[in-house]
Amino acid sequence: MRAAAAAAASAAIGPQDAPASRGEDALAALTALVRADLEACNRLIVERMQSPVALIPQLAAHIVAAGGKRLRPLLTLAAARMCGYRGERHVALAACVEFIHTATLLHDDVVDESALRRGQASANALFGNKPSVLVGDFLFARAFQLMVADGSLRVLAILSEAAATIAQGEVLQLVTQNDTATTEAQYLEVIEGKTAALFAAATEIGAVVADRPAAEAEALRAYGRNLGMAFQLVDDALDYAAEQAALGKTVGDDFREGKITLPVLLAFARGGEEERAFWRRALEEREQREGDLAHAQALIERHGALRDTLARAREYGAAALAALEGFADGAERRALAGIVRFCVDRAR
Protein backbone atom coordinates (compact mmCIF):
# COMPACT_ATOMS: atom_id res chain seq x y z
CA MET A 1 0.00 0.00 0.00
CA ARG A 2 2.81 2.38 0.89
CA ALA A 3 4.64 1.51 -2.35
CA ALA A 4 1.50 2.27 -4.36
CA ALA A 5 1.06 5.58 -2.57
CA ALA A 6 4.68 6.47 -3.23
CA ALA A 7 4.25 5.70 -6.93
CA ALA A 8 1.14 7.86 -7.10
CA ALA A 9 2.94 10.63 -5.26
CA SER A 10 5.84 10.49 -7.68
CA ALA A 11 3.48 10.76 -10.63
CA ALA A 12 1.63 13.68 -9.07
CA ILE A 13 4.76 15.61 -8.16
CA GLY A 14 6.71 14.94 -11.32
CA PRO A 15 9.01 12.43 -12.99
CA GLN A 16 12.10 11.36 -11.10
CA ASP A 17 14.49 12.57 -13.78
CA ALA A 18 13.06 16.11 -13.89
CA PRO A 19 15.73 18.79 -13.59
CA ALA A 20 16.14 20.33 -10.16
CA SER A 21 15.58 23.76 -11.67
CA ARG A 22 11.84 22.96 -11.92
CA GLY A 23 11.59 23.30 -8.16
CA GLU A 24 13.55 26.55 -8.15
CA ASP A 25 11.32 27.80 -10.97
CA ALA A 26 8.26 27.05 -8.81
CA LEU A 27 9.67 29.10 -5.94
CA ALA A 28 10.49 31.96 -8.31
CA ALA A 29 6.97 31.82 -9.74
CA LEU A 30 5.38 32.01 -6.30
CA THR A 31 7.66 34.88 -5.29
CA ALA A 32 6.82 36.80 -8.47
CA LEU A 33 3.10 36.21 -7.98
CA VAL A 34 3.00 37.89 -4.57
CA ARG A 35 6.00 40.20 -5.02
CA ALA A 36 4.23 43.39 -3.93
CA ASP A 37 2.85 41.73 -0.80
CA LEU A 38 6.25 40.16 -0.02
CA GLU A 39 8.00 43.51 -0.34
CA ALA A 40 5.47 45.03 2.06
CA CYS A 41 6.05 42.11 4.42
CA ASN A 42 9.82 42.60 4.28
CA ARG A 43 9.45 46.31 5.04
CA LEU A 44 7.32 45.48 8.06
CA ILE A 45 9.86 42.90 9.25
CA VAL A 46 12.67 45.46 9.09
CA GLU A 47 10.51 48.05 10.86
CA ARG A 48 9.53 45.70 13.69
CA MET A 49 13.10 44.49 14.21
CA GLN A 50 14.09 47.94 15.38
CA SER A 51 14.83 48.65 19.04
CA PRO A 52 16.71 51.33 21.02
CA VAL A 53 18.89 48.45 22.26
CA ALA A 54 21.34 48.36 19.36
CA LEU A 55 22.28 44.69 19.70
CA ILE A 56 18.70 43.59 18.97
CA PRO A 57 18.38 44.91 15.39
CA GLN A 58 22.02 44.06 14.73
CA LEU A 59 21.64 40.39 15.67
CA ALA A 60 18.13 40.09 14.19
CA ALA A 61 19.28 41.58 10.90
CA HIS A 62 22.10 39.05 10.72
CA ILE A 63 19.79 36.06 10.71
CA VAL A 64 16.96 37.69 8.72
CA ALA A 65 19.44 38.67 5.99
CA ALA A 66 21.17 35.27 5.98
CA GLY A 67 19.57 34.15 2.75
CA GLY A 68 16.29 32.50 3.75
CA LYS A 69 13.68 32.06 1.02
CA ARG A 70 10.78 33.42 3.12
CA LEU A 71 8.90 30.24 2.26
CA ARG A 72 6.50 30.33 5.21
CA PRO A 73 5.35 33.95 4.74
CA LEU A 74 5.08 33.29 0.99
CA LEU A 75 2.63 30.50 1.80
CA THR A 76 0.50 32.85 3.91
CA LEU A 77 0.43 35.51 1.21
CA ALA A 78 -0.43 33.07 -1.59
CA ALA A 79 -3.04 31.18 0.43
CA ALA A 80 -4.86 34.41 1.28
CA ARG A 81 -4.86 35.53 -2.35
CA MET A 82 -6.04 32.10 -3.54
CA CYS A 83 -8.97 32.45 -1.14
CA GLY A 84 -9.92 35.76 -2.73
CA TYR A 85 -8.62 38.06 0.00
CA ARG A 86 -7.85 41.57 -1.25
CA GLY A 87 -7.08 43.40 2.00
CA GLU A 88 -3.80 43.96 3.85
CA ARG A 89 -4.05 41.84 7.02
CA HIS A 90 -2.21 38.93 5.45
CA VAL A 91 0.96 41.04 5.09
CA ALA A 92 1.34 41.60 8.85
CA LEU A 93 0.44 37.97 9.57
CA ALA A 94 3.06 36.78 7.08
CA ALA A 95 5.60 38.90 8.96
CA CYS A 96 4.36 37.33 12.18
CA VAL A 97 4.95 33.84 10.75
CA GLU A 98 8.49 34.81 9.73
CA PHE A 99 9.24 36.22 13.19
CA ILE A 100 8.11 32.96 14.82
CA HIS A 101 10.27 30.99 12.41
CA THR A 102 13.31 33.22 12.92
CA ALA A 103 12.97 33.11 16.69
CA THR A 104 12.96 29.31 16.62
CA LEU A 105 16.07 29.30 14.42
CA LEU A 106 17.93 31.44 16.94
CA HIS A 107 16.94 29.15 19.78
CA ASP A 108 17.63 25.97 17.77
CA ASP A 109 21.17 27.03 16.88
CA VAL A 110 21.93 27.60 20.56
CA VAL A 111 20.51 24.21 21.56
CA ASP A 112 22.31 22.44 18.70
CA GLU A 113 25.52 24.45 19.19
CA SER A 114 25.47 25.12 15.44
CA ALA A 115 28.30 27.17 13.96
CA LEU A 116 26.64 27.68 10.57
CA ARG A 117 23.23 28.84 9.42
CA ARG A 118 22.56 28.77 5.66
CA GLY A 119 26.26 28.61 4.96
CA GLN A 120 27.15 31.61 7.13
CA ALA A 121 28.27 31.94 10.72
CA SER A 122 25.26 31.45 12.99
CA ALA A 123 24.13 34.26 15.27
CA ASN A 124 25.22 32.37 18.38
CA ALA A 125 28.67 31.82 16.88
CA LEU A 126 29.04 35.56 16.25
CA PHE A 127 27.19 37.12 19.17
CA GLY A 128 27.08 34.35 21.79
CA ASN A 129 24.34 32.14 23.19
CA LYS A 130 22.75 34.56 25.64
CA PRO A 131 22.11 37.37 23.12
CA SER A 132 20.76 34.84 20.60
CA VAL A 133 18.24 33.42 23.08
CA LEU A 134 17.12 36.86 24.23
CA VAL A 135 16.75 38.27 20.72
CA GLY A 136 14.76 35.15 19.85
CA ASP A 137 12.47 36.03 22.74
CA PHE A 138 12.20 39.59 21.39
CA LEU A 139 11.13 38.30 17.98
CA PHE A 140 8.52 36.02 19.56
CA ALA A 141 7.17 39.07 21.39
CA ARG A 142 7.04 41.04 18.14
CA ALA A 143 5.11 38.17 16.56
CA PHE A 144 2.52 38.25 19.33
CA GLN A 145 2.21 42.03 19.04
CA LEU A 146 1.34 41.56 15.37
CA MET A 147 -1.21 38.88 16.25
CA VAL A 148 -2.88 41.13 18.80
CA ALA A 149 -2.91 44.06 16.40
CA ASP A 150 -4.71 41.89 13.84
CA GLY A 151 -7.57 41.56 16.31
CA SER A 152 -8.76 38.07 15.37
CA LEU A 153 -9.01 35.61 18.25
CA ARG A 154 -9.08 32.77 15.73
CA VAL A 155 -5.79 33.90 14.17
CA LEU A 156 -4.32 34.33 17.64
CA ALA A 157 -5.43 30.81 18.58
CA ILE A 158 -3.94 29.25 15.43
CA LEU A 159 -0.56 30.97 15.67
CA SER A 160 -0.17 30.72 19.45
CA GLU A 161 -0.98 27.01 19.25
CA ALA A 162 1.64 26.65 16.53
CA ALA A 163 4.23 28.41 18.68
CA ALA A 164 3.51 26.07 21.60
CA THR A 165 3.62 23.01 19.32
CA ILE A 166 6.98 24.05 17.87
CA ALA A 167 8.43 24.32 21.37
CA GLN A 168 7.02 20.90 22.28
CA GLY A 169 8.51 19.41 19.14
CA GLU A 170 11.93 20.81 19.93
CA VAL A 171 11.78 19.49 23.49
CA LEU A 172 10.71 16.06 22.24
CA GLN A 173 13.64 16.08 19.83
CA LEU A 174 15.95 16.90 22.73
CA VAL A 175 14.49 13.99 24.71
CA THR A 176 14.87 11.51 21.84
CA GLN A 177 18.24 12.79 20.67
CA ASN A 178 21.02 10.20 20.95
CA ASP A 179 18.47 7.42 21.57
CA THR A 180 18.47 4.70 18.92
CA ALA A 181 15.40 3.19 20.59
CA THR A 182 13.38 6.14 19.27
CA THR A 183 10.37 4.92 17.29
CA GLU A 184 9.33 6.10 13.88
CA ALA A 185 6.13 7.44 15.44
CA GLN A 186 8.17 9.58 17.85
CA TYR A 187 10.31 10.86 15.01
CA LEU A 188 7.24 11.86 12.99
CA GLU A 189 5.82 13.60 16.08
CA VAL A 190 9.05 15.59 16.35
CA ILE A 191 9.00 16.83 12.77
CA GLU A 192 5.29 17.53 12.87
CA GLY A 193 5.92 19.75 15.87
CA LYS A 194 9.13 21.49 14.94
CA THR A 195 8.42 22.02 11.22
CA ALA A 196 4.96 21.06 9.96
CA ALA A 197 3.02 22.98 12.63
CA LEU A 198 4.16 26.38 11.39
CA PHE A 199 3.62 25.43 7.72
CA ALA A 200 0.07 24.38 8.65
CA ALA A 201 -0.66 27.58 10.56
CA ALA A 202 0.88 29.76 7.85
CA THR A 203 -1.48 28.41 5.21
CA GLU A 204 -4.58 28.07 7.40
CA ILE A 205 -4.62 31.74 8.35
CA GLY A 206 -4.81 32.60 4.65
CA ALA A 207 -8.33 31.16 4.60
CA VAL A 208 -9.19 32.73 7.96
CA VAL A 209 -8.39 36.31 6.91
CA ALA A 210 -10.44 35.73 3.75
CA ASP A 211 -13.38 34.56 5.91
CA ARG A 212 -13.65 31.31 3.96
CA PRO A 213 -15.62 28.26 5.17
CA ALA A 214 -14.09 25.98 7.78
CA ALA A 215 -13.61 23.22 5.18
CA GLU A 216 -11.30 25.47 3.15
CA ALA A 217 -9.32 26.48 6.22
CA GLU A 218 -8.92 22.80 7.12
CA ALA A 219 -7.86 21.95 3.57
CA LEU A 220 -5.19 24.63 3.64
CA ARG A 221 -4.06 23.44 7.04
CA ALA A 222 -3.72 19.91 5.62
CA TYR A 223 -1.79 21.27 2.64
CA GLY A 224 0.65 23.12 4.93
CA ARG A 225 1.07 20.22 7.34
CA ASN A 226 1.83 17.70 4.59
CA LEU A 227 4.12 20.13 2.81
CA GLY A 228 6.01 20.71 6.07
CA MET A 229 6.38 16.99 6.68
CA ALA A 230 7.76 16.50 3.15
CA PHE A 231 10.10 19.46 3.58
CA GLN A 232 11.62 18.10 6.81
CA LEU A 233 11.94 14.54 5.52
CA VAL A 234 13.90 15.82 2.54
CA ASP A 235 16.02 18.01 4.82
CA ASP A 236 16.86 15.01 7.00
CA ALA A 237 17.78 12.97 3.94
CA LEU A 238 19.98 15.75 2.56
CA ASP A 239 22.06 15.78 5.72
CA TYR A 240 23.49 12.44 4.64
CA ALA A 241 23.50 12.99 0.88
CA ALA A 242 24.12 16.56 -0.27
CA GLU A 243 26.98 18.97 -0.71
CA GLN A 244 27.27 21.89 1.67
CA ALA A 245 26.68 24.38 -1.15
CA ALA A 246 23.29 22.84 -1.91
CA LEU A 247 22.25 22.73 1.72
CA GLY A 248 23.61 25.95 3.14
CA LYS A 249 24.87 23.95 6.09
CA THR A 250 27.57 21.43 6.89
CA VAL A 251 26.74 17.91 5.71
CA GLY A 252 26.53 15.52 8.65
CA ASP A 253 25.33 18.04 11.24
CA ASP A 254 22.55 15.70 12.36
CA PHE A 255 25.02 12.82 12.65
CA ARG A 256 27.50 14.85 14.71
CA GLU A 257 24.74 16.06 17.02
CA GLY A 258 23.37 12.55 17.48
CA LYS A 259 19.95 13.37 16.03
CA ILE A 260 17.72 10.40 15.31
CA THR A 261 16.17 10.94 11.88
CA LEU A 262 14.30 8.62 9.54
CA PRO A 263 17.36 7.63 7.45
CA VAL A 264 19.08 6.51 10.66
CA LEU A 265 16.01 4.70 11.98
CA LEU A 266 15.61 2.74 8.74
CA ALA A 267 19.30 1.84 8.48
CA PHE A 268 19.39 0.85 12.17
CA ALA A 269 16.33 -1.40 11.85
CA ARG A 270 17.61 -3.09 8.71
CA GLY A 271 21.21 -3.60 9.84
CA GLY A 272 22.84 -6.40 11.76
CA GLU A 273 24.09 -6.25 15.33
CA GLU A 274 27.53 -4.99 14.30
CA GLU A 275 25.96 -2.09 12.43
CA ARG A 276 23.64 -1.31 15.31
CA ALA A 277 26.64 -1.25 17.65
CA PHE A 278 28.18 1.36 15.35
CA TRP A 279 25.08 3.57 15.52
CA ARG A 280 24.93 3.25 19.31
CA ARG A 281 28.58 4.22 19.67
CA ALA A 282 28.35 7.14 17.25
CA LEU A 283 24.95 8.54 18.23
CA GLU A 284 24.21 7.42 21.78
CA GLU A 285 27.70 7.47 23.24
CA ARG A 286 28.82 10.27 20.89
CA GLU A 287 32.13 8.49 20.46
CA GLN A 288 32.76 9.52 16.86
CA ARG A 289 35.93 8.75 14.96
CA GLU A 290 37.44 9.84 11.68
CA GLY A 291 35.55 8.18 8.86
CA ASP A 292 32.40 7.54 10.88
CA LEU A 293 30.26 9.93 8.82
CA ALA A 294 31.31 8.25 5.58
CA HIS A 295 30.53 4.85 7.15
CA ALA A 296 27.11 6.10 8.25
CA GLN A 297 26.41 7.34 4.73
CA ALA A 298 27.45 3.97 3.32
CA LEU A 299 25.13 2.09 5.69
CA ILE A 300 22.24 4.39 4.87
CA GLU A 301 22.86 3.84 1.17
CA ARG A 302 23.26 0.07 1.58
CA HIS A 303 19.86 -0.29 3.23
CA GLY A 304 17.97 2.06 0.90
CA ALA A 305 17.24 4.43 3.77
CA LEU A 306 17.63 7.62 1.71
CA ARG A 307 15.51 6.22 -1.10
CA ASP A 308 12.73 5.26 1.28
CA THR A 309 12.89 8.53 3.23
CA LEU A 310 12.45 10.45 -0.02
CA ALA A 311 9.62 8.13 -1.05
CA ARG A 312 7.90 8.99 2.22
CA ALA A 313 8.42 12.68 1.47
CA ARG A 314 6.72 12.20 -1.89
CA GLU A 315 3.76 10.57 -0.17
CA TYR A 316 3.30 13.65 2.00
CA GLY A 317 3.78 15.81 -1.07
CA ALA A 318 0.98 13.97 -2.86
CA ALA A 319 -1.28 14.53 0.16
CA ALA A 320 -0.46 18.24 0.05
CA LEU A 321 -1.45 18.37 -3.63
CA ALA A 322 -4.68 16.51 -2.90
CA ALA A 323 -5.62 19.11 -0.28
CA LEU A 324 -5.62 21.81 -2.99
CA GLU A 325 -8.09 20.00 -5.22
CA GLY A 326 -11.13 21.73 -3.77
CA PHE A 327 -9.89 25.19 -4.77
CA ALA A 328 -10.57 26.80 -8.13
CA ASP A 329 -7.74 26.59 -10.63
CA GLY A 330 -5.71 29.77 -10.85
CA ALA A 331 -2.23 31.22 -10.60
CA GLU A 332 -2.10 30.98 -6.80
CA ARG A 333 -3.24 27.36 -6.68
CA ARG A 334 -0.74 26.40 -9.39
CA ALA A 335 2.03 28.23 -7.53
CA LEU A 336 1.20 26.47 -4.26
CA ALA A 337 1.20 23.13 -6.08
CA GLY A 338 4.57 24.03 -7.57
CA ILE A 339 6.00 24.60 -4.11
CA VAL A 340 5.45 20.92 -3.37
CA ARG A 341 7.77 20.19 -6.28
CA PHE A 342 10.26 22.74 -4.94
CA CYS A 343 10.38 21.00 -1.56
CA VAL A 344 10.85 17.52 -3.00
CA ASP A 345 13.21 18.57 -5.82
CA ARG A 346 15.80 19.76 -3.32
CA ALA A 347 16.97 16.15 -3.06
CA ARG A 348 17.75 15.82 -6.76
Q: How far apart are CA 229 and CA 237, in angstroms?
A: 12
Q: Phi, psi (5° rounding) for residue 321?
A: -65, -40
Buried b (16+ CB within 10 A) or exposed e, 298-334: ebbeebebbebbbbbbbbbbbbbbbbbeebeeeebbe
**Res 250: pLDDT:** 65
pLDDT along the chain (348 residues), means of 10: 35 37 78 96 94 93 77 97 97 97 90 72 85 94 97 97 95 92 96 97 98 98 98 94 56 89 98 97 95 95 96 97 97 96 83
Q: Which of helix, strand or coil describes residue 318?
A: helix
The pLDDT assigned to 22 comes to: 57
The pLDDT, as a whole number, for residue 248 is 54
Q: What is the model's pLDDT at position 11?
A: 37
Superfamily holding 21-152+180-342: Farnesyl Diphosphate Synthase (1.10.600.10)
Q: What is the pLDDT of residue 346?
A: 80
**Whole-model pTM above 0.85?**
yes
The pLDDT of residue 114 is 76
Q: Is the distance from CB of 156 to CB of 131 less than 8 angstroms?
A: no
Strands 120-121 and 116-117: antiparallel
Position 242 scores a pLDDT of 56
Annotated domain spans of the chain: 21-152+180-342
CA distance 123 to 60: 8
Q: Based on the number of CB atoms within 10 Å of its own CB, is 54 exposed (0-12), middle (13-18) or buried (19 or more)?
A: exposed
The H-or-E segment that residue 328 falls in is none
What pLDDT does residue 118 have? 65
